[in-house]
Amino acid sequence: MLHRCSKCDSDMEEGFLLEKGDSGVLSPQAWVTGKPEKSFFSGVSIKGKQMYDVKTFRCNACGYLESYALGVQ
Ligand SMILES: [Zn+2]
């Protein structure tokens, strides 16, 4: 999939946004439906919500980020 920056029309590179957890746990970020609800156990409750893998493109020229939520996890 070839992407062009919507700001400056340069080539964009595929990647993802990384989540750095407290204990050094690394994981890709996800997009979740609705509003965040606080949970005592996990910080934020995602019970009953849909989660999508997020693919983020970065412009090689200006650094602009463009994200796509694709496929349910
Ligand atoms: Zn750009």
E-state strands within 1-73: 3-4, 11-15, 18-20, 26-28, 30-32, 37-39, 43-45, 51-59, 65-72
Per-residue pLDDT of 30-42, as tens digits, reads: 999 999 999 888 7
Q: What percent of the chain has pLDDT over 90?
A: 53
Per-residue pLDDT of 33-67, as tens digits, reads: 999 999 888 788 888 899 999 999 999 999 999 99
Given pLDDT bands bounded at 50, 70 and 90, which one contains residue 23? confident
Per-residue pLDDT of 2-18, as tens digits, reads: 799 999 999 999 999 99
The alpha carbon of 65 and the centre of ligand 1 are apart by a number of angstroms equal to 8
| Residue 1: per-residue pLDDT | 61
The alpha carbon of 4 and the centre of ligand 1 are apart by a number of angstroms equal to 8
Contacts 24+ apart (CB under 8 A), 24-30: 28/53, 28/54, 29/54, 30/54, 30/73
**Please, what is the end-to-end C-alpha distance for the chain in angstroms?**
21
Domain locations in the chain as residue ranges = 3-72
The alpha carbon of 3 and the centre of ligand 1 are apart by a number of angstroms equal to 11
